[in-house]
Amino acid sequence: MINLLNQTYAYFLDNQNRFWAELGRHLSLSSTALAISLILCIPLGIWAARHVRAAQYLITAVGSLRLIPSLAILFLVMPYLGTGATPAITALTILAMPSILINVYTGLRGVEPAVVEAAAAMGMTARQRLLQVEIPLALPVMIAGIRTATVEVIASATLAAFIGAGGLGIFVTRGFALFEPRIMLLGAIPVAVLALISEVVLGFVERWFTPPR
């Protein structure tokens, strides 16, 4: 095991430029996908929280996207989007959407109605209520969803290597093709570490925004 890690390190030293380039690509694929899902899902979640009946259909529909394996999405969108980063980001966005949307919705629905009423009684507009009362109170749950999505996206961005989008997955697929665990680990270990870091960091953020009880 130690020996293998040494070999991985030696392979890393020989391929540093490529490693940092792929790490960068991995992070940019993941963060782009997460950004797009946030832009789509936060307004969608807010809308859904105001339209409970329609929300059930919306959430079921988005949730069912999660049932399609990401690899299948990659190949399904390829005829339209080609190879490279675009189909990879599309697949990762689809993967990230359900957790974010569901948690934005649940977070907002979980806000005590009495608090919102009190805010209205104080003369706050709907916009003020949303931005100053509802979202701050829903934030811990929303961040929990973002945290889940982030870990999922970072781990799944490995698949991008299948379709020429690069990322740390290229070391995993190359190691797999050559049966060279040292190459595979150069992809697998950093992906695991990235996922852990984002888990821990977003965990802190989540606690930061949780009101003390």
Q: List residues binding another protein (CB under 8 A).
A: 1, 4, 17-18, 21, 78, 82-84, 147-148, 151-152, 155, 161-164, 166, 170, 173-185, 188-189, 191-192, 195-196, 199
Q: Which is nearer to another protein, 32 or 128 (CB)?
A: 32
Whole-angstrom Cα distance, residue 109 to residue 103?
10
Handedness of CA 97, 148, 69, 190 (dihedral sign): positive
Secondary structure, 3-state, 29-72: HHHHHHHHHHHHHHHHHHHHHHCHHHHHHHHHHHHHHCCCCHHH
- Please name which of 211, 154, 133, 202 lies closest in space to residue 32, comparing C-alpha atoms: 154
**Smaller CB separation from another protein, 133 or 142:** 142
CB of 182 to another protein, least distance (A): 8
Q: Which amino acid is at 77?
A: V
Identify which of residues 21 and 36 has a Cβ nearer to another protein in the complex: 21
Minimum distance of another protein from residue 163's CB (angstroms): 6
Q: How far is the CB of 110 from another protein (least distance, A)?
A: 16
Nearer to another protein, 34 or 130 (CB): 34
The pair of structure tokens assigned to 28 is: 């940019």
Show the tokens assigned to 135: 């979202």
Nearer to another protein, 124 or 155 (CB): 155
- In the bound complex, what is the minimum distance in angstroms from residue 24's beta carbon to another protein? 12
Token pair 């870091």 is at which residue?
197
CB of 161 to another protein, least distance (A): 6
